[in-house]
Amino acid sequence: MKSVIGIAANQIIQSVDVFNGNHVSYTPQGFVTAVQNAGGLPIVLPIGAEETAEAYISKIDKLLLAGGQDISPDFFGEDPHPKLEETNRNRDLFEIALIKEAVKQKKPIFAVCRGMQLLNVVLGGTLYQDLSLYPDWKVKHGQQPTQPQFATHGIQIEKASSLYPLLGEDYRVNSYHHQAINKLAAPLKIIAKSSDGIAEAIESVDAKQRILGVQWHPELRFDIESKEFNLFDYFVNQL
């Protein structure tokens, strides 16, 4: 029986000139393909009403949270900083409801980039709205214009973690974020950091609540770097 993987979707508005402003629910193809290659059955969960989260989570085996917009800062008690970028409150509310239901129903969660940050917020943590607010910022965490298939900075992984058997102690990642974990939520622990101390991966303190989050984008490199695929294989088949 294939594990059913619910991937929380994003939403864009297509060009008015070409597509008349058509609204599209989507997730990056890399997530879909990686889950399929790992033997999972991916299902995209479109942004919807918060009260539908319970039904969605009950129909899947595991939840995957993708990257995307900044998180609305009022969810962690702050006003918007001048360097805050695009937010989507409907997406925030829906994914918050999904996370709460997944925790309640004891469904495993794999969270990528924004997904990792939102997970931290939902469980009681806070974020740096921009890395310029982090006093020890020394590493370029947004690698544009370098292409995503290239890893650009190193991370150090804790030996007593779920990541260590998959990636080793020293690993290099791609990087596309200007926000980061500030106060860590109590149910979580940091299992990887960059050289300037930014949280690069987290997991649950309680082994019974199976949670893994990474700050980089394995869906953009899994087809050329086998260790990135290891993350999806672990999520679909073990987490």
- Provide the 10 A C-beta neighbour count for residue 208: 6
Residue 204 three-state SS: strand
Element (H, E) at 234: helix 226-237
Quote the CA–CA distance of 239 and 236 in Å, as a whole number: 7
Active site residue 113: yes
Q: What burial class does residue 52 get, using C-beta atoms within 10 Å of its C-beta: 0-12 exposed, 13-18 middle, 19+ buried?
A: middle
Q: Which of 141, 153, 177, 217 is catalytic?
A: 217
Q: Which of 118, 120, 107 is nearest to 210 (CA)?
A: 107
Active site residue 169: no
Active site residue 219: yes
Q: Which of 228, 193, 188, 194 is nearest to 212 (CA)?
A: 188
Q: Are 187 and 85 in contact (CB under 8 A)?
A: no
Helices 226-237 and 29-37: crossing angle in degrees, nearest 10, is 70
Residue 86 three-state SS: coil
- For residue 4, report the phi and psi dihedrals to the nearest 5 degrees: -85, 120
Beta bridge partners of 157: 192
Q: Which of 200, 219, 225, 228 is catalytic?
A: 219
Residue 105 three-state SS: coil
Q: Which of 95, 113, 141, 200 is catalytic?
A: 113
Catalytic positions, written as ranges? 113, 217, 219
